[in-house]
Amino acid sequence: MTVSKLPEGQVPKMGLAGPTQNLQYDLKAGFLVFLIALPLCLGISLACGYPAIAGIFSAIIGSIVTTFISNSQLTIKGPAAGLIVIAIGTVIDFGFTGGRDPVADFQAYRLALGVGVAAGCIQILFGLLRVGSLGDFFPLSAVHGMLAAIGIIIILKQFPIALGVSAAGGPFELIAHVPSIIMHMNPYIAAIGFGSLVIMFGLPYIKQRSKLIQMIPAPMFVLFFAIPLGLYLGISREQTYIYQGHEFELGKKFLVDVPSNMFKAITNPDFSGLKTVIGWKWVIMFALIGSIESLLSAKAIDIIDPWKRKTNLNRDLLAVGIANTFCAFIGGLPVISEIVRSKANIYNGGRTRFAGMYHGIFLLLFVGLIPFLLCQIPLAALAAMLVFTGFQLTSPREYINTYRIGVEQLIIFMSTVIGVLATDLVIGIAIGIGVNLLINIIEGVPLRSLFKPYLDIKIRDRNTLAIIVRDSAVFSNWIPFKGKIEQLGLIQRNNVIVNMSKVKLVDHSVMEKLHELEREFEQNNVTLQVIGLEGHKKASGHPDSSRKLDQELLMRKRVTIIANSLLLKQLRTGFCNLGIAQFMTVEPVGRLTETETETETLSSADSLIRIEALLQTEKTEGLLEYLREQILPYHITTIVCVENIEAVLPYSTKSLSKSEEQGQFSDLFVGNAGNNGENSV
C-alpha cells in the first residue's frame, strides 16, 4: 500500500473537497477499511463481553454521525482494542459470567450501556467546555505504558480463545496458566487459531514482495483461511471427537453469533447502574481514557495527513461524545478515533472525512443483507487478530524506543505497565504519573513550578515575542505553557522565541510536544524557536530526551597561552590532535628581549602571540599535559594561564528540530580575530 500524496506544495481546496470531488478515492479507501473493520469490530465486541453485533453498531454510527460533526478528515471512528479492558471490566463488575448465565450476561450488558450513555454525555460536556487539551496533561511514557499494559491483557485474554480453551482470572493468573492452556487446547480450534496467527504475523513480510497481496488486508486473508477450514472441520455441528485419547467438543459456541435481523438486536440501556459507586467509576474511566486515546489518535493522524490539515480537538471530542451517546442507546460499544484503521484509510488513498462514512455504509449493507456469512466466522480467528493487535500495542519495539529516550522514561513506562496489570487502568496510570512527578522532583524541579509555569514575556520586534521560562517545563505544567505559546504565536500571529536557559528541567513530554508545535507554527507561516538548551545535559541521544540544567556545561576554563609566534603552527597541530576545534589567536603581543631568547633558538625580532580557548575540564587537562610534555620543556618562556569562569553560552538561531540535527555546542570560540585575522574555528 502506498500513501496518497499530492504534488509538492499543492493542497486541496477544502471548500470543494466534498463527497463528489473525491468520490473515487474515498469510496476505494472506505471499502478497504471496511474489510479491515468488519472482523475487528466483531472480535473487539466479543472481547468486551458485548454481543458481536454491538461492535458493528458502533462502527456504523461512529463513522456516519461524526462525519457531519468533526472536522477530522482522515480519522476512522469505531470500537478500539484500547477500550477492551475498560469494557470487560464494566460488565464483570455488573455480574458478567462469560456465558454460564445468559440472563445475567445480558443484564450486565444493559447496565454497561447505561454507563456508556453517561460517559458519552460527559465527553459532550468536555467538547463544549473546550477541554480538548486534556490529553496533554498525561506524560507520554505513562500513556504508552498504559497502552502496552492493555496490549498484554488483550493477549492474555484472547490467547485461550484462539486455542479453544476457557480461562479466567487476572493478568498474573493467566500468565501462570499459559502452560496449562497450551496443554488442554482444542486441536481443531487451535489449528484455526495458530494458522490465523501465522497469517497475521507473517503476511506483512510477504506483502513487501507482492502488489496484489498488498491490496487485501490481513484480516480478510484470515477469514479466507479460517471460514473454509472451519467448514471442513465441521465446527458448526454439535459433536465431540477424540484426539490422542482426549475428547474435545465442537459446536456453534466456537462461531460468531449474529442475529439474522440486526435491527432486532437493538438493546436499550439500563441506567440503574448509575446509582452505584462502581457504575460511576466506569463512567469516569470510559470518559477519560476514551477521550485521551481518541485525542492522541487524532493528533497522530494529523501528523501523517498528506495535506497537513489540523483537527479541531474540541469539536472532535464533541463528535465522539455524541456518537458514543447514540451507540449506547441502541446497544453499541464506545467509539474513539481508531489509529490502525485511520492509517489504513490514508495508505489506501482516503482524502476526506467521507471515506470514514463510506466504510460505515459498507458495514451496514453487508450486515444488513448477508448476516449469515458472519455466523461462519470462527471465534479463534477473531481472537488471533486481537492477539496480533495486542502485540502491536506492547511490541518490544515500544520498550526499546522508550529506553532510547532515557532510562527514567523506561522506569515511568514500566511502573505504569506493572501498575495497570496489578490493579486497574486508573490506578496504573496514576502510578505512572506519580513516578514521573517523583523523578522530576528528584531532578531538581521546584515544587512551586510542578503545576504552574513561570513565564516572562518580552517584545523582540514588531512581529517577534520572547518567552523566558523559569524553573521547569514539565508535563504537569505544559497545558498553561502551551496555551501561552499558542496565544502569542498562532492566535496573535507572532513569531515566538522560547528561552529555556533558566529552566532546571525540560522533560520528555514537553520536548516532544515542542517539536509538534514547531510543525504547527510552520504550517501557519509563523516560527517557533527554542533557545537556551545548550547548558542542559541530555538524558540520551534521542532528540526528545529530557534536558537537565548542568552547571558543568556552563562552567569553562579559560586557557591563555603566550608563546613565540613561530610556535603557532605546532600549537595548532597539537590543538587539533586533542580535538580542540575552537580557539582564538591574537598577535603581536610584544617582542622578546635578548635576555629572554638566550635559551631559545629565536631572534629578538620574533613576536609573541596569545592563544585563548574556553574548554571543559577534561580537554583542559589534556591540553596542559600536552604543553608540559611537548612545549614547556623546550620553550621555557612560554606562559600558560588557566582561569575558572562561567561562560555565557551562545543561543542557536535555528529552530529546535534543526539545532538537534546539528548537535549541541561543545568548546566555544571566544572574542574576535586579531589584527591579521588569524583565527581557527
> What gap in Å lies between CA 584 and CA 139, rounded to an integer?
45
With CA atoms as reference, report the closest residue to 374 among 37, 16, 106, 110.
37
User: What CATH number corresponds to the domain at position 510?
Assistant: 3.30.750.24
CA distance 365 to 363: 6
Report the pLDDT value the prediction gives residue 550, as an integer from 0 to 100.
82
Per-residue pLDDT at 340 exceeds 60? yes
Cell numbers placing 546: 529530557
What pLDDT is attached to residue 583? Answer: 83
Per-residue pLDDT at 544:
93
pLDDT digits over 609-631, tens only?
Answer: 888 888 877 788 888 988 988 88
**Each residue's pLDDT tens digit, 247-278:** 999 999 999 999 888 888 999 999 999 999 99
Q: Please report whether residue 13 resides in a domain.
A: no
For the stretch 103-147, pLDDT in tens is 999 999 999 999 999 999 999 999 999 888 877 888 999 999 999
Q: DSSP assignment, residue 668?
A: B
- Take residue 350 and report the three cell numbers written for it: 482516503
Same domain for 314 and 221?
Answer: yes
> Does 459 map to a domain?
yes
Residue 435 is predicted with a pLDDT of 97
Question: Is it the case that residue 96 has pLDDT exceeding 80?
Answer: yes
- Do residues 363 and 41 lie in contact, with contact meaning Cβ atoms separated by under 8 Å? yes
Q: Is the pLDDT of residue 362 over 50?
A: yes
Q: Are 238 and 304 in contact (CB under 8 A)?
A: no
Residues 579, 506: one domain? no
Can you tell me the distance from the alpha carbon of 612 to that of 13, in angstroms, rounded to the nearest whole number? 59
Residue 6 counted as domain residue: no
Number of domains in the chain: 4
Whether residue 5 is contained in a domain is answered as no
Domain ends where: 549, 569, 594? Answer: 549
2 found inside a domain: no
Summarize the confidence of residues 580-589 as an average pLDDT: 76
Whether residue 126 contacts residue 134, with contact meaning beta carbons closer than 8 Å, is answered with yes
Three-class DSSP category at 118: helix
**pLDDT recorded at residue 189:** 96
> In terms of DSSP bridges, do strands 547-549 and 536-538 run parallel, antiparallel, or are they unpaired?
antiparallel
Residue 13 is classified by DSSP as -
The chain-wide mean pLDDT, for the chain, equals 86
Decide if 11 is inside a domain.
no
Mean pLDDT of 20-49: 92
Which of 107-111, 304-308, 339-343, 595-599 is predicted most confidently?
A: 107-111
Residues 223, 278 within the same domain? yes
Inside any domain, residue 592: yes
Instruction: Kindly state whether residues 345 and 470 are assigned to the same domain.
Output: no
Q: What are the tens digits of pLDDT across the range 498-538?
A: 999 889 999 999 999 999 899 889 988 999 999 988 888 99
Residue 5 pLDDT: 43
Greater pLDDT, 127 or 340 = 127
Indicate whether 137 and 237 sit together in one domain: yes
Question: What does DSSP say about strands 555-564 and 547-549: parallel, antiparallel, or unpaired?
Answer: unpaired
> How many Cα atoms occupy the beta-carbon half-sphere of 432 within 13 Å?
32
Shared domain check, 93 and 146: yes
Whether residues 305 and 414 share a domain: the answer is no
Q: Give the pLDDT band (50/70/90) at residue 600.
A: very low
Most confident listed range (10-24, 245-259, 565-579): 245-259
Quote the CA–CA distance of 338 and 509 in Å, as a whole number.
22
Same domain? 275 vs 356 = yes
For residue 303, pLDDT over 90 is answered with no
Say yes or no: 372 and 437 in one domain: no
The answer to whether residue 553 scores a pLDDT higher than 70 is no
**Alpha-carbon distances, residue 397 vs 6, 30, 384, 513, 588 (angstroms):** 31, 30, 20, 21, 60
Whether residue 84 lies inside any domain: the answer is yes
CA gyration radius, the chain: 32
Q: Which domain holds residue 415?
A: 404-442
CA distances from 574 to 162, 329, 607, 615, 636 (A): 68, 79, 20, 15, 18
Q: What is the mean pLDDT of residues 161-185?
A: 92
pLDDT (0 to 100) of residue 590? 56
| pLDDT score for 523 | 85
Mean pLDDT over 449-454 rounds to 94
Kindly give, in sequence order, each residue whose CB lies less than 8 Å from that of residue 330, ignoring residues fewer than 6 positions away.
Answer: 57, 61, 266, 267, 268
Query: How, if at all, do strands 464-473 and 495-506 pair?
Result: parallel
The reply to whether 369 and 413 lie within a common domain is no
The whole-number pLDDT of residue 375 equals 92
| Local structure of 5: helix, strand or coil | coil
Per-residue model confidence (pLDDT) at position 169? 86
Whether residues 213 and 317 share a domain: the answer is yes
Residues linked to residue 503 through DSSP beta bridges, in sequence order = 471
Do 204 and 320 fall within a single domain?
yes
Residue 668, by phi and psi: left (phi above 0), alpha (psi -120 to 50) or beta?
beta
pLDDT surpasses 80 at 658: no
